[in-house]
Amino acid sequence: MSAFTRSSVWTSQGRTSAALEVYLLGTVDFDAAMFLQDRLIDEVSSRTDRLGALIICEHPPMVSVGRDGRVTDLPVDTRDFTSRMMEIRRVDRSGGTLVHAPGQIAAYPILPLERLGCGLAEFQQKLLNSLLATAAEQRVTSQAIDTPLGTTCRCGQFSWIGASVRDGVSSHGLFLNVSPVMDTVRLVRSTIDRTNIASLSMQRMEPVPMHKVREALMRHLSDQFDYTETHPYTGHPLLQRTWRKVMQNA
């Protein structure tokens, strides 16, 4: 039976599973993704098995501010973000202020870390390992950095980790620039020079297929957390799709 037609194990608390449920959702409004993430956290928290979830998506242009974010991260008048139709959201994750846009992969692993025997430091290291391996498949040599936590290549930093753990379950996760509009993702200040923000496509100096990066990231995350069975889906019944006009450039 195809993984895409298999019934989801979320439908019954009485069933146990050691699988990773992967939701490949395309472009999703940030608030809708956070709503779905919160519901999946509740589901994972209420179980006693190893079942986990992974949301992989992109977001319309917007800004998220983590626990280390500061007002000074926003170098332009907030009205400039309004004119670009970019919302600003404060979120409960590690890390600072990040711009999200189409062409950047947002991956949210919702995993029962305690039942996986994985602490926060090990969790972050596994995320880094997945990013490094994914970049290597695209023939991009990269290194892990601590501040801000993520990976960098010759052209600059192209991924960030901003995670949270609640009741032994992880949330938020990692953000990987594949081919976003660079003027958009460089709108905020960070602990590195914002001109030193890069992408896989910039490093390769040619387009990098988004579907190949998504597949590689999904595979490496599954391997890092010892999930031998994955169930990929292209939607979720709780996902609230929204339609709004966005601007990539102003």
Is 3 domain-assigned? no
Is 220 domain-assigned? yes
User: For a pLDDT cut of 90, what percent of the chain falls above it?
Assistant: 69
Could you give the CA distance from residue 91 to residue 2 in angstroms, rounded to a whole number?
Answer: 36
Is omega for the bond preceding 237 within 30 degrees of 0, making it cis? Answer: no
> With contact defined as beta carbons under 8 Å apart, do 95 and 66 qualify?
yes
Is 124 domain-assigned? yes
CATH of the domain at 120: 3.30.930.10
Is 250 domain-assigned? no
User: For a pLDDT cut of 70, what percent of the chain falls above it?
Assistant: 87
Quick one: pLDDT band at residue 221, thresholds 50, 70, 90?
Answer: very high
Is 112 domain-assigned? yes
> What pLDDT, in 10s, does the model give residues 200-216?
999 999 999 999 999 99
Quick one: pLDDT band at residue 1, thresholds 50, 70, 90?
Answer: very low
Which of the pair, 55 or 86, is modelled with greater confidence? 55
Could you give the CA distance from residue 134 to residue 224 in angstroms, rounded to a whole number?
Answer: 12
Is 183 domain-assigned? yes
- The residue range of the domain holding 34 is 18-233
Q: What is the mean pLDDT of residues 2-30?
A: 74
> What pLDDT, in 10s, does the model give residues 122-165?
999 999 999 999 999 999 999 999 988 999 999 999 999 999 99
User: Cα 33 to chain center, whole Å?
Assistant: 10
> What pLDDT, in 10s, does the model give residues 39-82?
999 999 999 999 999 999 999 999 999 888 887 787 767 777 88
Give me the amino acid identity at 146: D
User: Does the structure show a pLDDT above 80 at 3?
Assistant: no
Is 210 domain-assigned? yes
> With contact defined as beta carbons under 8 Å apart, do 52 and 225 qualify?
yes
Look at residue 242 in the predicted model and tell me its pLDDT: 65
Look at residue 29 in the predicted model and tell me its pLDDT: 94
Is 5 domain-assigned? no
Q: What is the mean pLDDT of residues 2-9?
A: 47
Number of domains in the chain: 1
